[in-house]
Chains A and B, each alone.
Chain A
Amino acid sequence: MTRTKLTRRAFTGSLLATSALSACAVQTAPAKAHVVVIGGGFGGATAAKFIRLEDPGIAVTLIEPKSEFVTCPFSNYVIAGFKQIGEITHNYNALTGTHGVRHVRDIAVAIDPATKTVRTGSGQSIRYDKLVVSPGIDIRWGAIEGYTEAAAEILPHAWQGGAQTLLLRRQLEAMPDGGVVALALPGNPYRCPPGPYERISVIAHYLKTTKPRSKILALDAKDAFSKQPLFQDGWNALYPGMIEWVPLNKDGRITQVIANERTLVSEFGQRHRAAVVNVVPPQFASKIARDAGLANPDGGSAGWCPVDPITFESTRIKDIHVIGDASIAGAMPKSGFAANSQGKFVAKAIAAALNGRPAFAPVYANTCYSLLAPDYGISVADIYRATPQGIVAVQGAGGVSPRTPADAAQFRHLEATYTRGWYSSATREIWGT
């Protein structure tokens, strides 16, 4: 079977996996086009499913090396000990079984826009009519001196779900009461703006309940952060005296780590030694996106991928759409909610283009929930429109949870409840049904 024939033929996940004989027996209409999706996380898995929902006549292949996906959302609660890793692990059975997405368990190693093919680690060449790239982030190893992959085995980042999440959990469990947990936090932009502060909060919850003499030292490369007043109010109320946050202007930026001494070194040479050290390092778009030339090579947004605000098509390479954390999405943050929203709209844009229909105006959304304790939730929400100035938040809408609601305890309790509701609905939408 030649490559062209393969891409034109309609197939389902099971069909391609079985023999040519059974493929002939199932007489389906030929697919009108073949969309390849790189990455089965929040953006890519959404896009793969929704392209099939938009138009079952389009064949979709998902290239993702993992058979199970551990989410970053809720991984802070595994680190804090009130969720188990199994509760945040999802598979691709619904995508392949119910939605007829073909899952190629392999890594994409090269994209050739001239022949419109993706080459995989095992040497397959897969042709596409449209390509969706949602590979998430990579750590910028070495951006903090000494912070290498080997150092991350001692000073975990836990900014990608899975083994790193569990490593940080084990270190916190092993830490004696009275120890210091130090965090080094990055400048903008990075995956999940409120994520580090949620992590500080729920680690404080764990320490307060099990190791109450311990302290948290957060060293930040920024002077301000997402939902800051809400976080700091919560820290004062729930964990008085436990958390010290050091901003950039107080020499908070960490420029070097000495891994075997569990020591962080600041810009102006202050050394912080701690019992547990969590480095949330600088990041950029994952390797495949940078290698393919989808990312800006220099300037303030170097390492991230510029896209059209309406279709998320790369402004650098035609017929390739970049979504999720890897993309530069204007006012939208790098969040799972945003990646899910972008995945749905890129599916509509691609289905429209492949059916010769004009593009339409998308209306994106985001809501980032954070827990400060299992029963204390806050959120930031926004609706976004694509304008000639890029993707902008609708003024007068969205914003953060009220700082002083009438019944604050009840409000934070409800938002903690809805945090769980969002996770359940979103992961069911992406991997579950």
Chain B
Amino acid sequence: MRSVIATAAFVASLLAGAAAAQAQQAAPIPGSVLAATCSGCHGPAGRSVAEIPPINGRTEQQLLSAMLDFKNDRRPATVMNRHAKGFSDDELAAIAREISANWR
């Protein structure tokens, strides 16, 4: 059972990687563009005042490891796992850089 899930996850990550890579052929997409989606749930500049946790004021490392953990199903989540899988690891790093630098 475990190996079936692991294989499925591996295939999924390959597919996600392929789609991301294909769309990315040109220049890498800047972090400011990639992070635009996050404020829809985490609020302007990540300063959520509601039921979804705020993500402003975090270090780059905190953000990147959280996103990689979500992407690889190492951290329980309702929706972040589904979102994090939409980005390559490099893109998650760019998002973490952008948010730690500019979402204060």
Contacts and interface: CB of A to CB of B under 8 A. Distances in A.
B20 interface: yes
Interface in B38-60: 39-44, 48-52
Interface string A401-428: 1000000000100110110111011101
B22 interface: yes
B79 A344 contact: no
Contacts of A386: 23
B82 to A, nearest CB: 5
B16 A429 contact: no
For chain A, the bracket of interface size reads 35 or more
A417 B30 contact: no
Main SS at interface, chain B: helix
Contacts of B20: 385, 394
B52 to A, nearest CB: 3
Contacts of A385: 19-20, 22-23
B29 interface: yes
Contacts of A433: 44
Nearest to A378: B78
Interface string A387-400: 10000101111110
Nearest to B71: A397
A395 B44 CA distance: 28
B19 to A, nearest CB: 5
Interface in B58-90: 78-79, 82-87
A383 interface: yes
A383 B15 CA distance: 13
Contact of B40 (A337, A362, A394, A397): A337
B1 interface: no
A361 B82 contact: no
B86 A421 contact: no
A418 B64 CA distance: 22
Contacts of A394: 16, 19-20, 85-86
A382 B51 CA distance: 21
B86 A424 contact: no
Contact of B86 (A345, A360, A383, A429): A383
Given A345-B36, A395-B16, A414-B78, A429 B85 contact: no
Contacts of B91: 363
A344 B23 CA distance: 19
Interface centre among A364, A395, A415, A424 (most CB of B within 10 A): A395
A370 interface: no
A6 interface: no
Interface residues of A: mostly helix, strand, loop or mixed? mixed
B24 interface: yes
A360 B40 contact: no
Given A361-B23, A363-B34, A396 B44 contact: no
A426 B22 CA distance: 30
A134 interface: no
A422 B11 CA distance: 30
B40 A341 contact: yes
A395 B87 CA distance: 11
A362 B34 CA distance: 8
A421 B83 contact: no
Contacts of A411: 78
A425 B41 CA distance: 5
B33 interface: yes
Given A361-B26, A420-B50, A420-B51, A396 B37 contact: no
A163 interface: no
A395 B50 contact: no
A340 B51 contact: no
A420 B43 CA distance: 12
Contacts of A367: 40-41, 79, 83
Given A379-B79, A396-B13, A424 B49 contact: yes
B101 interface: no
A15 B12 CA distance: 53
A426 B40 contact: yes
A303 B62 CA distance: 47
B86 A363 contact: yes
Interface of A: 337, 340-341, 344-345, 348, 360-365, 367, 379, 381-383, 385-387, 392, 394-399, 401, 411, 414-415, 417-418, 420-422, 424-426, 428-429, 433
Interface of B: 11-16, 18-20, 22-24, 26-27, 29-30, 33-34, 36-37, 39-44, 48-52, 78-79, 82-87, 91
12 contacts: A385-B19, A392-B19, A395-B15, A395-B18, A396-B15, A397-B84, A415-B79, A418-B51, A421-B48, A422-B41, A428-B43, A429-B39
